[in-house]
Amino acid sequence: MYVVLDTSVLFSALAFDGNERLVLERVWLRHTLVVTDMIEAEMRAVMRKKLSPHKCRDAEQLFDALLASRAHLYYKTKNNYADFLNDALARIAKKDAPILAAGLQPEVHALVTGDADFLENRNLASLWTRKIFTSREILPLL
């Protein structure tokens, strides 16, 4: 299974214990984590903004290790998901469109988010039962 974790889920997985960490661990051990260049850039900015320097350094090292280990990682650049951006922009706000575009790709099975913009958006209703999950919803499937 190919799984996209949005930035907030990935941040929570690296910074705190909880469902998000369990999701990341299960995806990493049994499936393939999909990370885009946009998620990487946003993750680095969020870690620097929200974490103390020491905690940020630890989280960045873990994130770098995830990115360096290509065994369970599928890294995508904008060129890989650009064809899906127009569809994503028609469904969701511009700031969230690159993550949705990554999740719309046919090889991606799940997009995990806690963002209400994804979970309550009527333009995404057809995806709610097929591709978009909260951390709690995806855990039994992993």
Say which CATH number the domain at 75 has.
Answer: 3.40.50.1010
Entry pTM: 0.84
Mention every residue, 6+ apart, whose C-beta is less than 8 A from residue 126.
none
Q: Region 70-88: what's the mean pLDDT? A: 79
Q: Could you give the number of structural domains in the chain?
A: 1
Q: Give the DSSP letter string of 3-53.
A: EEEPHHHHHHHHHS-SHHHHHHHHHHHHSEEEEEHHHHHHHHHHHHHHS-H
Q: What is the pLDDT of residues 27-48, one digit of tens each?
A: 988 999 998 888 899 999 999 9
Q: What is the extent of the structural domain holding 69?
A: 2-141
CA distance 83 to 19: 32
